[in-house]
């Protein structure tokens, strides 16, 4: 089976406009969550908080002639992809173009554009829409734009499975590389979900935290939304080694499952099945895992369910694991969540630093693992899992390890 190397990464979120700054903030335990400033929030019941990207000027990163075609969803994707491809050292404007895929996870597509169009139609009674509205809104816009900017002509598509979208995108790209359909892929996730309409929708579900995100903690009160993108370059390990590329990590295994249960309530059985599948796919034993980057949303239901699932899979070794959630720093970025969390996993593997779980108030009896509260943990990390569990009971887990 072809082994898969990760040779490039890029990102943008509330913690920074590049992967280096994002990782440094994670390792230092800095949070990007704060009051929403982008739009008037007075119609909401409470003052909302979110992990907003600040001080982002698209024209500093993207050709101005392309900007009218781009919702922030695609802008973030292009910025992160440019960084990842640059780090990888690959050029796709040659015979490599047709042998490269672009697979991008998206949660909700084009919301800022959509909300602006509806505001004109219903608020201003103005039906004259911008002619590029559709190409900004469509869910396949981010991978399409990446392919056009970089000349990639291989399989290019979006994966949309809510909060598991990024990890499902990784899985699809990995399977294509292993099957020999392609030799490389640009993969990741992007999200631009901080709009007034969506904040109202999430508020109505009663899952938004009024104070902050506190995964696995006593008195946790819900999730906090975030936005951004993270992109990665995958290629065959053999090809990366042959060209002398810097290999950041190996994508060793992927696992996917469906709960086939409740549309919103998570299942420990389904989550455990995806973790087991990732380990089996990577030819790894549970005892080889040092760290789990948890889905860790901060909701009452998710955190205790995920803890039970980890106990199911790891047994006694669960007590030896460090399990943290980085969502208190970059927020829950829905379709981009798994991709942003991959930055944390790669950082842990390369630097031996596990980012902390912030805002911890004390143990919940149903959450009884080592969550590295408050401060980063310095420790060797040889192999890790990254968990993503979505509404609809859709689960995707990635197993990542150092290259030996």
Residues acting as catalytic residues: 163, 295, 332
Q: What is the DSSP string of 227-270?
A: -EEEEEEEEEHHHHHHTTPPP-EEEEEEEEEE--S-SSS--HHH
Report the distance separating Cα 95 and Cα 21, nearest Å: 34
Q: 133: part of which helix (H) or strand (E)?
A: helix 133-137
Per DSSP, the chain holds a count of helices (H) and strands (E) of 12, 14
User: Phi first, then psi: what are they for 312, rounded to 5°?
Assistant: -55, -45
- Terminal C-alpha separation, the chain: 16
Report the distance separating Cα 42 and Cα 184, nearest Å: 47
Q: Which of 278, 350, 291, 274 is nearest to 325 (CA)?
A: 291
Q: 27: part of which helix (H) or strand (E)?
A: helix 19-28
């Amino acid at each position: 089976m072809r082994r898969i190397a990760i040779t490039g990464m890029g990102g943008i979120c509330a913690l920074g406009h590049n992967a280096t700054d994002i990782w440094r903030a994670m390792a230092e335990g800095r949070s990007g969550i704060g009051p929403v400033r982008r739009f008037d929030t007075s119609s909401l019941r409470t003052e909302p908080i979110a992990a907003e990207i600040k001080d982002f000027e698209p024209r500093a990163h993207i050709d101005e002639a392309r900007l009218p075609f781009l919702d922030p969803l695609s802008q973030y994707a292009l910025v992160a992809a440019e960084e990842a491809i640059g780090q990888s050292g690959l050029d796709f404007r040659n015979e490599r173009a047709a042998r490269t895929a672009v697979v991008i996870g998206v949660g909700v597509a084009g919301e800022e554009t959509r909300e602006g169009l509806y505001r004109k139609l219903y608020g201003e009674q103005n039906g004259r829409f911008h002619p590029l509205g559709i190409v900004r809104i469509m869910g396949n816009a981010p991978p399409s734009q990446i392919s056009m900017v970089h000349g990639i002509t291989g399989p290019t598509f979006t994966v949309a499975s809510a909060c598991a979208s990024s990890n499902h995108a990784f899985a699809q790209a990995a399977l294509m590389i292993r099957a020999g359909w392609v030799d490389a892929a640009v993969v990741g996730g992007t999200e631009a979900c901080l709009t007034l309409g969506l904040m109202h929708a999430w508020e109505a579900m009663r899952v938004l935290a009024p104070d902050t995100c506190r995964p696995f903690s006593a008195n946790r009160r819900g999730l906090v939304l975030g936005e951004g993108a993270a992109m990665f370059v995958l290629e065959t390990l053999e090809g990366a080694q042959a060209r002398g590329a810097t290999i950041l990590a190996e994508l060793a295994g992927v696992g996917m499952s469906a709960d086939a249960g409740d549309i919103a309530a998570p299942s420990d059985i389904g989550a455990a099945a995806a973790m087991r599948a990732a380990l089996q796919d990577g030819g790894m034993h549970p005892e080889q895992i040092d760290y789990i980057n948890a889905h860790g949303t901060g909701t009452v239901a998710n955190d205790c369910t995920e803890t039970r699932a980890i106990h199911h899979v790891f047994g006694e070794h669960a007590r030896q694991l460090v399990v943290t959630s980085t969502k208190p720093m970059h927020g829950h970025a829905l379709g981009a969540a798994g991709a942003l969390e991959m930055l944390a996993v790669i950082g842990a593997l390369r630097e031996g630093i596990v980012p902390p779980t912030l805002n911890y108030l004390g143990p919940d009896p149903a959450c009884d693992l080592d969550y590295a509260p408050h401060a980063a943990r310095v420790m060797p990390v040889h192999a890790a899992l990254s968990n993503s569990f979505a509404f609809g009971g859709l689960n995707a887990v990635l197993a990542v390890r150092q290259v030996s």
